[in-house]
Structure 1
Amino acid sequence: MKKKLWMIFGPVIVAIAALLILLWAPINFKTVTPEKVNQAATSLDARVLKGENIKNNAEEENYIPIIGSSELSRMDPFHPSSMAQKYHWKNQPFLLGNPGTASLTQAMNVSGMTKLKNNKAVFIISPQWFTKKGARSDAFKYYFSPLQLTGFILNSNHGDKDLNQYIAKRIIQLGISKGPIENDAVRRIAAGEKITSYERTYVELSRSSLQSQDALFGSSFLQDHQNKINKATSKLPDNYDYKDLNKLAVKMAKTHSRENDLQIGDSFYKKQLFHNMKRLKNSHTHADYLHSPEYNDFEALLYMFKQNHVQVMFVIQPVNKKWMEYTGMPQSSLTNFDKKIKYQLRTQGFDNVVDLTNVKNPNYIAEDTIHMGWRGWLMLDKKLAPYYKDKKANPEQTQYKMDHYFLTDTWANDVDF
C-alpha cells in the first residue's frame, strides 16, 4: 500500500521539493542570454521594471537605460530604439517605463540597478505627473515589487537617513502592505529606527528566494517588439541627415493625423478622444503643476542617481501645443513647472537638461496630447546620439550636492524660486 502511494504521490513530492530548493537556495542562475537582454530592452514588460536581474545584465553590455513612462511605447521610426538600430549607435536604449510609472516608482526601480553605478542614464520627465495629489496609489502598488521592498529594507542602514525615512513614509502613505514583518520594518525605518536582527534575517531569506525567482522567471515569455522596430527602421533613409529626417517626420505625422486638426495620431484620437471632445473643451483652464508631492518623490529619485554616481540626461517632454489651446491650458502653467523643476535639478548639480516644452516650431512634436512622437523624438535623438557614444559616466558630471529642503512639504508647494 505504501509503495503504491509513493508511486502515485512520490514524483509530485520530489518535484515540489526540487522547486522549493530552486526558489530558496542562494544559487546564481545564469538564465539571461544576450538575446534575452536585447528582447527585454524594448519589451516594456512590467516584470523587467519590477525585477533586477535582467536590468543588471544589460548594464554589463552595450545598453543605456531610458527611464520614463508611457511615451516609451510610441515606437515610430523616430523612436530612440529605431534610430539607434538604423544608424548603429554604439550603445542601445534599454526602455524602462509603463503607463502610470512616475518618480517614486522609478526611484525604487533605480535602487535595484546596482550595475548602473558610474554609468549613464536618460530620464524623461512628464509635467502631468506633478498634480496636487501626486502619485496614484494603485499604480505605485502595481509596480512596487516585494524584491524592491526587501532591497530597500536591507539597505536602510546605508545612505541618507532622511531619504530612507521619506521613502518609508511614502510606502506607508501609499498603502503598501507585504506582510507583518516587512510592514514593521518599514514602520521602524519611517520612525528613524533600525530594523531588528530578526527582521533582517527574515528579509534576507525572503530576498534570496525572490532573487532566485527573478533569475528564473523574470525574463521568460517577454513581449517581443523587434518586428515593430524593424518595420519602423525600414521607413528611414540609410544616411542620417537631420533636415531630411525632419521633413520625413512631418510627412509621416500629417499622414497619421488626417482625421483631426490637433496634430494627434488618428488611432489615439479615435480611441481616446473622439467621443469626449465636447467635454474636454476648455477643461484644463485651471491646470496647476506647482503644488505636488511629486516634487519630493522626484527628489528621492535624484538621491538614487546621486548614490550610484549616475550621469543623467533629463528630458522634459512637451505638451501638444494645439491640445493646450483646445483645453484652455495656460502656457504659464507649463512655463512655471519648467522653471521649478529645472531649479530643483540645477541647484543640485544635475545640469544636463533637454527641455522640449517651448521649442520654436512645436508642430508634430507630440504624437498625442502629452507624449513625444515624430519630431519630438527626432529632436531628442539629436541629443542622444552623441550621449550614447560612451556609457561610462564622466565623474565631473556626477558631483551632485543634495539639499534636504527638496524633500519637504514646503518645497512641494513653493512658488517662489
Structure 2
Amino acid sequence: MKKKLWMIFGPVIVAIAALLILLWTPINFKTVTPKKVDQAATSLDTRVLKGESVKNAAEKENYIPIIGSSELSRMDPFHPSSMAQKYHWKNKPFLQGNPGTASLTQAMNVGGMTNLKGNKAVFIISPQWFTKSGVPSDAFKYLLSPLQLTGFILNSNHGDKKMNKYVASRIIDLGVSKGPIEDDALERISEGKQITDFQRFYIRDIARSSLQSQDDLFGSLSMNDHQGQINKASAQLPDTYDYKHLNKLAVKLAKKHSHDNDLQIGDSFYRRKLKKRIIIYKNAHRHVTYTHSPEYNDFQALLYMFAQNKVEVMFVIQPINPHWVKYTGMPMSSITNFDKKIKYQLKSQGFNNIVDLSNVKNPNYIAEDTIHMGWRGWLMLDHHLKGYYKTKKANPENTEYKMNSYFLTKTWANK
C-alpha cells in the first residue's frame, strides 16, 4: 500500500521539493541572455516591468530606458523603437510601461533598477494621471512589484527620510497588503522608524531571496514578442533620415489611418472605443482639471529615485489630441496650468531637460488617439532622442539635483 501511494504521490512531492529548493537557494541561474534582453526591450511585458533581472541586464548593454505608460504600445513607423532600428541608433530604447502605470508604480520600478545609476533615462509624463483622486488603487496594486517593494523596505534606512515615510504611507493608503511582516515593516517606515532585525532577516533572506529566484527563472520566459511589428513599421521608413520628408510621411500615414472620423483619431481605436458612444463625450470634459492631485506627490517620489541614483533624465510632456480637447470642451487652461505646474516642480529641482509636446505650433496628427502620442508626436520626440541616445552615461553636470520636500506636501498637490 505504501509503495502504491509513493508511486502516485512521490513524483509530485519530489517536484515540489525541487521547486522549493530552486526558489530559496541563492543561485544565479543566468537565464537572461542578450537575445532575451533584446526581446524584452519592446515586449512591454508586465513581468519585465515588475522584475529586476532583465532590466538590470539591459543597463549593462546599449539600452536607454523609455519609461511611461500605454502610449508605448503605439508602435507605428515613427515609434522610437522603429526609428532606432531603421537609423541604427548607438543605443536602443528599452520600453517600460503598461496601461495603468503612473508615477508611484514607476518610482518603485526605478528604485529597483540598481544598474541605472549614473546612466540616462527618458520619462514620459501623461497629464491625465493628475486627476483629483490620483492613481486608482486597483491599478497600483496590480502593477506593484513584490520584489521592488522588498527592495524599498530594505533600503528604507538610507536616502531621504521624508520621502521614505511618504512612499510607505502612500502604499498603505492605497490598500496594499503583501503579508503581515511586510505590512508591519511599512507601518514602521511610515512612522519614521527603522525596520526590526527580524523583519530585515525575513524580508532579505526569505521573501526577497525567493522573489529574486522567481524573477531569474521566470521573468523572461514566453514574453510578448513585438519584433515583427517593429520590423513591419521600420520597413515603411526611407533609408535616409530627413526630418521634413519624414514629417510629410507621418501626415500621409496618419490621414490614411484616420479617415473614419474628423478628430484625427486612428480608425482602429475609434471603431473599438468611441464610434458607438462618441456623442456622450460632447462637452463632457468642461470641468476637467489637472492641477489638484496626489499624483504630484507621487511624481516627487519618482524624482527622488532618479536623484538618488544620479540619473540624467529627459522628461517628455505628451500631448492631448487638440481636436479631442475641443470636442469634449476641455478648457485649454487645464493643460497650460498643468504644464506650468509640472515644469516648475521639475526645473526648480534641477531637472531641466524637458521636451514639451503639449503646446506646439502645428499639432495636427500629433496624437494617435485621444491622449497618447503617435505619428507626428513620436517623430517630434525622435528628433530629440536621436542626439540624446548617442551616449548612455549621464553627464554629471546634469545630475546636480536640489530636492525639495515641499513637493511631497498636500499643500503643493492642491496648489
TM range (shorter): over 0.9
Separation (CA, whole Å) in 1 of partners of 2:295 and 2:7: 59
One-letter amino acid matched to 2:308:
Q
The range that moved more, 54-63 or 6-15, is 6-15
Normalising by structure 2, we get a TM-score of 0.99
- Say what the alpha-carbon RMSD is for the aligned residues: 0.9
1:13 offset after TM fit, Å?
Answer: 2.4
Q: 2:102: which partner in 1?
A: 102
Separation (CA, whole Å) in 2 of partners of 1:5 and 1:359: 73
Per-residue CA shift, 1:30-76, capped at 9, x if unaligned? 00111100110000011110010100000001100000000000000
Separation (CA, whole Å) in 1 of partners of 2:279 and 2:20: 57
Matched residue SS, 1:60: coil
Matched residue SS, 2:382: helix
Separation (CA, whole Å) in 2 of partners of 1:243 and 1:345: 31
One-letter amino acid matched to 2:64:
I
Q: 2:70: which partner in 1?
A: 70
Separation (CA, whole Å) in 1 of partners of 2:87 and 2:96: 22
Mapping of residues 237-386 of structure 1, within 5 Å: 237-386=238-387
Separation (CA, whole Å) in 2 of partners of 1:90 and 1:257: 33
Matched residue SS, 2:350: coil
Give the number of equivalent residue pairs. 414
Matched residue SS, 2:157: coil
Q: 1:235: which partner in 2?
A: 236
Q: 2:195: which partner in 1?
A: 195
Separation (CA, whole Å) in 1 of partners of 2:287 and 2:17: 60
The range that moved more, 162-171 or 141-150, is 141-150
Per-residue CA shift, 1:168-201, capped at 9, x if unaligned? 0000110000111111110010011111111111
Separation (CA, whole Å) in 1 of partners of 2:30 and 2:369: 41
Separation (CA, whole Å) in 2 of partners of 1:209 and 1:349: 38
Structure 1 residue runs without a partner (length 5+):
none
Separation (CA, whole Å) in 2 of partners of 1:7 and 1:99: 47
Matched residue SS, 2:64: strand
Separation (CA, whole Å) in 1 of partners of 2:105 and 2:4: 52
One-letter amino acid matched to 1:284:
H
1:275 offset after TM fit, Å?
Answer: 1.5
Q: 1:50: which partner in 2?
A: 50
Matched residue SS, 2:93: strand
Normalising by structure 1, we get a TM-score of 0.98
Separation (CA, whole Å) in 2 of partners of 1:60 and 1:40: 14
Separation (CA, whole Å) in 2 of partners of 1:40 and 1:229: 13
User: Identity across aligned pairs (percent)?
Assistant: 76
1:4 offset after TM fit, Å?
Answer: 4.5
Separation (CA, whole Å) in 1 of partners of 2:352 and 2:262: 37
Mapping of residues 97-176 of structure 1, within 5 Å: 97-176=97-176
1:10 offset after TM fit, Å?
Answer: 3.1
Separation (CA, whole Å) in 2 of partners of 1:310 and 1:367: 30
